[in-house]
Amino acid sequence: MEETYIDSLDPEKLLQCPYDKNHQIRACRFPYHLIKCRKNHPDVANKLATCPFNARHQVPRAEISHHISSCDDKSCIEQDVVNQTRNLGQETLAESTWQCPPCDEDWDKDLWEQTSTPFVWGTANYCGNNSSASNVVMEHKSNLASGMRVPKSLPYVLPWKNNGNAQ
């Protein structure tokens, strides 16, 4: 049994394609081959059914019920289901002790306390406080050296803009 189990896990083991008996496929490529070959042989594909426990098992439709009752992969799935149901009964969800922190913000109050004019992009704006330290004009700062300006156009013509020039 142990040797058979190890042999079935060998990725280099050759498996016979259920759609074309002349195809010998490595086990690691077998799922991909099944998809490709199923599309190439729709007449054979209609006569085969896929095992619900292992999609690599393609069985004639007349034999699927027998295969399902005797499939080796069935025991693995059943064992997983049994383990999950056992663990589900043992798990108890701990109630959360997390509490929302107190909120000191009041956006409505902040809105009424604003005395400055609404923000307009590109204009000078004074800070809202009336203290002498805060009467500083907030202006846009340029990272360009003095005497330099931003170019008004791109240095090249974009391919989708012909500017009326026929090529």
pLDDT in tens, 108-162: 887 777 766 666 676 665 544 444 444 444 555 666 667 777 777 766 666 666 6
Sign of dihedral through CA atoms 137, 140, 144, 148? negative
Q: What are the pLDDT digits (tens) for 33-49?
A: 999 999 999 999 999 99
Structure tokens at 50: 């896929």
Give domain limits for the chain. 14-86
Helix (H, G, I), strand (E, B) or coil at 126: strand
101: DSSP letter: P
- On the question of pLDDT at 87 being above 50, the answer is yes
Residues 6 or more apart in contact with residue 95 via CB below 8 angstroms: none
